[in-house]
Amino acid sequence: MDSLLEETIFGGNEAISAGLLSRKAQVTIQDARKAMEVFYKNSKTALSASFVVSGLKGGHDSKCTVFKLVEESNIELTKQELKGPVSVDIYAVGPNNVTDEAILANLAHSQRAADAQLTLEDLEKIGFIVNPLVSETSLRTAYQKPGVCQVPAKQELPAEVKKEPKEPAKPKEAKPREAVKPKAAPKSKSPFARISKEEAVAKAFDRRPNQTAVAEKVVVADDVDDVMEVDSDSEEQRKKLETLFDDDSMQVDSEPEEPDEPEEPEPEEVDIANEDEPNAETTPQAEPEPEPEFRKGRKKVTQRRHYEDDEGNLVTKTEEVWVSCDEEEEEPIQPKPAPKPAPASKPLPKIPKRTTQQATLMNFFSKKA
C-alpha cells in the first residue's frame, strides 16, 4: 500500500482518502487508515492531512454524536468542545490542503466511480456485508454512465413494382330526373278546404273513363241523337259541379271558425257531515272471543349446569331443557282497546254555481234587480 500511496501523492500530485485506498488495495477501511497514518508520520516531505473527530456534543442533555473534519492543528480544540469518549481517525492525505471543498468533492466522486466497478467478491474483501440474494446488476445501476442511444440503420425498402394503369371506366349516362312538384300546404284547418273552381272541375273530370271507352260508346251508338245525348249529359254534370263548389266556398267564407268552449262541470254538493258519521246498520258487532281452555303442557327452558371436567376445573354450560308447566299460570291476553270514534267535521260552505251563459248586448241593457 505504501507504493500505491507514493504513486498517487508524489507521482500524480493528487490527494487520496482512506475509502479510495481500501477500494484500490482491496483491503478493509480500518487497514487502509492504519497504513495511511503510518505513511503520514514516516514521510520526510511535508504533507497535509485531514482528520475526522467524533464524539458527543457538549451542553446538551440528549446524546447527539457529532463528526467534524479538521486539520491536525485543530484536533485538541475540537476535543474540548466534545464530551465523553472522543475518537480521531485519519480521512485523507495529500500534497496540498486536504480540507478544501473542491479536493474533497473530487475524492468523493472518484470513490463512487471505483464502487461501480466492484463485484460481490470484491465487496466482501473490503468488509461489506453482502446479501447473497442481491444481483450484481442492481449494484451498478446507480453508477452507470448515461448510454448513447444507438439509432438503428435505415432498412432499404424493396423496389416497388410498377402497376399498369387501368383503363378508366366509362361514366354511365345520367338519366334526367323528373321535376317533383312541391305539395301545397293547407292554409286553414277547417273541415271544408277551399278549392278553386278550375281544380275541382279538373279533378272531377279526371275520374271519367278513358277516351277509348268514350269513343267505343260513341261508335256503338246507332243514331246521331244518342251521341248528342252523351255530350249534353256531360255539360249538365259540369254545371252541377260548378254550382256545388260555389255554394261550398260561400259557406266556408261566411262561417268563421269559432272554437267551442267546453262547459265547466257543475260541482256536486256533498254533505260531508253525513259521510263522516258511520252507518250503524252496516257496521257488524264484534263477537266475543271464546275463553281459552287451560291444560298442562311442556316448555323449553335454558338452564346453567356446573360440573368438573377430567382435569378438575369447574365448567358451566347452558342447556335447553323441556320442563312441564301449567298453562293456567300464563298471563291472560289483554283485549285490544276499542278505537275512538272520529270527531264530526264541520260542513263546508256551499259553492255557488257559475253560469256559463255568454253575455249579449240585450243583457247589458236589461234592468238589474
Contact yes or no for 48/97 (Cβ under 8 A): yes
| pLDDT recorded at residue 365 | 75
**Backbone dihedral region of 127: left (phi > 0), alpha (psi from -120 to 50 degrees) or beta?**
left
In order, the DSSP letters of 197-208 are HHHHHHHHHHTS
Of 18, 1, 29, the C-alpha closest to 126 is 29
Note the residue count of the chain: 369
Task: For cell 252507518, name the residue.
Answer: 279
pLDDT of residue 214: 43
Cell numbers of 210, please? 278513358
Furthest C-alpha separation in the chain: 165
52: phi then psi, degrees, rounded to nearest 5: -105, 120
| Global model pTM greater than 0.95 | no
Residue spans of the chain under pLDDT 50: 139, 185-193, 209, 211-227, 230, 252-257, 259, 262, 267, 269-282
pLDDT tens-digit map of 223-258:
444 445 545 566 777 787 777 767 655 554 444 445
Tell me the Cα Rg of the chain: 62
Distance CA 66, CA 85 (A): 12
| DSSP one-letter code for 253 | H
Encode burial over 49-86: b for 16+ CB neighbours within 10 A, e otherwise. bbbbbebeeeeeeeeeeeeeebeeeeeeebeeebeeeb
CA terminus-to-terminus distance, the chain: 140
Distance (Å, whole) CA 369 – CA 357: 18
Give residue 51's pLDDT: 92
* Count of Cβ atoms closer than 10 Å to residue 180 Cβ: 6
Cell of 167: 383503363
pLDDT of residue 192: 46
Asked whether the beta carbons of 300 and 324 are under 8 A apart, the reply is: no
Q: Which long-range contacts (CB under 8 A, 24 or more apart) does 95-101 make?
A: 95/9, 95/10, 95/13, 95/15, 95/47, 95/48, 96/15, 96/48, 97/48, 98/15, 98/48, 98/49, 98/50, 99/50, 99/69, 99/70, 99/71
Pairwise CA distance, residues 342 & 338, whole Å: 12
Q: Taking Cα atoms as reference points, which of 75, 71, 73, 74 lies closest to residue 50?
A: 71
